[in-house]
Structure 1
Amino acid sequence: MTTPASTWASRPAAAATNPVWPSNFPDPQILPDGDGWVAIATNGNGMNVQTLVSDDLTSWTQGSDAMPELASWTTPGKVWAPEVHRFGDRWVMYYTTTAPDPSIQCIGLAVADDPKGPYRDTGSTPLVCEQDQGGSIDASPFVAADGTAYLYWKNDGNAVGVDTWISVQRLSADGMRLEGEAKRLIRQDLPWEGHLVEAPFVWERDGVFHLFYSANDYGSDRYAVGHATASSPTGPFTKDAEPVLTSTDVAAGPGHCALFDKDGRVLMVYHAWAPDAVGSEVPGRTMWLSEVTFDGTQVSVTPAQSRLPAGL
């Protein structure tokens, strides 16, 4: 029997196992919030941007809509893949939505004083929208150790039959504007990647820039997380030949990951389907945790499994 989302909203998850949230919560990111944590995700459950809150990363309670009001240029009910970074005393959210004219996916920007929101986008146009490349999706902010800010994203080329590229461009120090020119980094060119790459997330470790990304069909068990490295946040990036996180007997199509630090450990949050319910609305793509360890340019990610990383 599947537990309805409304039931889970009224109480924390009962067991400290994966998935840490058993209902649909696609494209998740986890952020520190005081002594606890907040998770944000793609629209669902009547919200434009879903939120969860937790004291310990294992038991979660449903929060409120992080972006209850949408900008004038957006389409209601179509907000995907939000990612947030703190710039000074403000939190900036980069999100994907559909612009109505022409009907194409674009990237917007919204600001809040609290990581849980409410975020507000007062702009009249998207931040990024590559109309001739199918649109722009999956924005991910990153600030390097030297303080330089960047925005990574993917052109939605698979929607119009052209290559998908993960690109990068510098952000202003407050995260509100793009500066300079965009640079293309990687595209789909490995057998396992299928017809697309997407969902970039960059992590800096000991002078190495690690680009995690997802590839293949998100609605299948072929979806997986890839990894590439560079000595600069603008590349060139060298890919691993095989993905670092793939389907298991308990989780299908793991992907769209984000990394965060907990007491010096690096954890990865991502979504995955139940193997017997790939593509389902219920339970949908649930939220999972793994641990990432680094050794120079190499990474190891604990497989998607019911048991959480030790110590959680």
Structure 2
Amino acid sequence: MGRRRGVRVAALGAACVALAACSTTSTTDGSGTPTASPSASGFTNPVYQGNVPDPQIVADGTRGYLAIATNGNGMNVQTLTSPDMVHWQQGSDALPRVASWSSAGKVWAPEIIAWPDGTYRLYYTTKAPQDQWQCLSVASSRTLAGPYVDSSTKPIVCEVAEGGSIDPSPFIDTAGRAWLYWKNDGNAIGLDTHLKVARLSTDGRSTTGAVTTLFKQTLPWEGHLVEAPSVVEIGGRFHLFYSANDYGSDRYAVGHAVGATPTGPFRKDPQPVLSTNAVAAGPGHDQLIKVGAQWWMVYHAWSPDAVGDESVGRSMWLSRVTFHDDRVDVSPPTSHVPQLPRP
């Protein structure tokens, strides 16, 4: 998400247990921070009002859900836990230590994926050995929430000549092939930005084979960059979501492209599928999760009266997603969502 700074998050208290008995009025966590309030007819956005940029939500078996986010609140990788994807409670640092070749302070856009051997991989952006740049690394854990350990001796991807590499996003297709998508951080040095993809090795700790450049910023709404790729496969089609423009403005938005293979070519939609409205500004850096039959998009957004204000930060929102062959519908940011994320 371009140039970012460290973040802070407020702790949440106890979740409302009986969903049908909860009102749709916002509650607080005891410190005055409003939290989402579910009801039998839906829930209130944002689902978490602390500062949690670049969120991802992963199902945690029968225990509910884990969310992770960019560094903040004294953690390299922030975590939140929830029984229902609506009420969230602060967890512990998923990555207590970064790789030995890096240093803390710029751990951005972490993403977790379950590996075929029953363990988990966490891909993240961190300082390069020359810390004016950022590159990609990977850590492993036997449990979803970690702690993750990074034993690497060098970055998994590090394109210093292109401004560095950020926003790693792992993906395993239905054929069992593992891929890593990312962005070269060209806008950091006045160059174009490109979304890229390469195969991952069998252990997920390195890339292998050719790197495919997918596309760069070409549409008027994208401004000077594209970033934050994420991919899902639906009916043999590969849907690539991405963010573009200035993350600290109300011009930031989510785009969509579709292709027949994980390496494309991808055809972009001409306009964003999620953008600023009266209740959420600059929505972006999304990930998708399927709960029951319904796909959901998790993303961050600024309050419209505090766009770019890091002291307020970016809260966590949910929108419903529906696929229609090559087309996708994403519900715009709305304060009340008339459907709960139920298995």
Normalization by structure 1: what TM-score? 0.96
Higher strand content, 1 or 2? 1
1:254 is displaced (CA, Å) by: 0.2
- Matched with 1:183 is 212
Displacement after TM superposition at 1:174 (Å) = 2.9
2:187 counterpart SS class: helix
Aligned to 1:15: 37
Q: Is the contact made by 2:36 and 2:86 (CA closer than 8 Å) also made in structure 1?
A: no
Distance in 2 (alpha carbons) for counterparts of 1:60 and 1:128: 33
RMSD: 1.3
Counterpart residue identity of residue 258, structure 1: Q
Give % identity.
56
Hey, what does 1:80 align to over in structure 2?
Answer: 108
Equivalence for 1:198 = 227
- Report the Cα offset of residue 309 of structure 1: 4.9
Contact 1:259 1:269 in 2 (8 A): yes
Mapped partners of 1:117, 1:137: distance in 2? 22
Question: Residues 162-209 of structure 1: CA distance to partner in whole angstroms, max 9, x if unpaired?
Answer: 110000001123322211010100100000000000000001001110
Say which of 281, 298, 301 aligns to 2:327. Answer: 298
Unaligned runs of 5+ in 1: none
| C-alpha deviation, 1:77, in angstroms | 1.8
Equivalent-residue separation in structure 2 for 1:149 and 1:103 (angstroms): 30
Greater mean alpha carbon deviation, residues 92-101 or residues 198-207:
92-101
Counterpart CA distance in 2 for 1:74 and 1:10 is: 34
Deviates more, 1:170-179 or 1:23-32: 170-179
8 Å CA contact 1:291, 1:309 repeated in 2: no
2:184 aligned with 1:155, yes or no? yes
Does the 8 Å contact 2:54/2:299 carry over to 1?
yes
The amino acid that maps onto 1:25 is V
Going from structure 1 to structure 2, the CA distance change for 1:162 and 1:222 (only over 3 Å counts) comes to: same
Residue 100 of structure 1: how far off its partner (Å): 4.0
8 Å Cα contact 1:292/1:301 also seen in 2:
yes
Q: Which residue does 2:155 correspond to in 1?
A: 126
Verify the 8 A CA contact 2:45 2:334 in the aligned structure 1.
Answer: yes
Indicate which of 60, 63, 86 corresponds to 1:58. Answer: 86
Once residues 66 and 9 of structure 1 are traced to their aligned partners in structure 2, the CA distance between those partners, rounded to angstroms, is 18
Cα pair 1:158 1:164 within 8 Å, conserved: yes
Tell me, what secondary structure is at the counterpart of 1:22?
Answer: coil
Higher alpha-carbon deviation: 97-106 or 179-188: 97-106
Q: Determine if contact 1:106/1:136 at 8 Å carries over to the other structure.
A: yes
CA contact under 8 A between 1:105 and 1:129: conserved in structure 2? yes
**1:288 counterpart (313, 317, 323):** 317
CA distance, structure 2, for counterparts of residue 262 and residue 277 of structure 1: 31
- The corresponding residue for 1:95 is 124
Letter in 2 for 1:66: A
Cα distance in 1 between the residues matched to 2:47 and 2:340: 14
Q: Is the 8 A contact 1:215 1:226 kept in 2?
A: yes
Q: Counterpart in 2 of 1:279? A: 308
Counterpart of 1:48 in structure 2 is 76
Partner Cα separation in structure 1 for residue 203 and residue 155 of structure 2? 17
Contact 1:140 1:153 in 2 (8 A): yes
Q: Any idea what SS the aligned residue of 1:158 has?
A: helix
The amino acid that maps onto 2:291 is: K
Q: Is the 8 A contact 2:36 2:48 kept in 1?
A: no
Paired position in structure 2 for 1:233: 262
Superposition map of 1:100-115 within 5 A: 100-101=129-130, 103-115=132-144
The 2-side partners of 1:309 and 1:94 are apart by 34
**8 Å contact kept, 2:36–2:45:** no
Contact 2:9 2:52 in 1 (8 A): no
CA offsets 1:58-92 (integer angstroms, 9 cap, x no match): 11100000011121111212200001111121110
Give 1:111's aligned amino acid.
Answer: S
Kindly provide the CA deviation profile for residues 90-120 of structure 1, in whole angstroms up to 9, marking residues without a partner as x: 1101100112425201001000111111011
Q: How many residues align?
A: 308
Deviation at 1:307, TM superposition (A): 1.1
Partner residue, 1:27: 54
Q: Who is 2:253 aligned against?
A: 224
Give the Å deviation of 1:11. 3.7
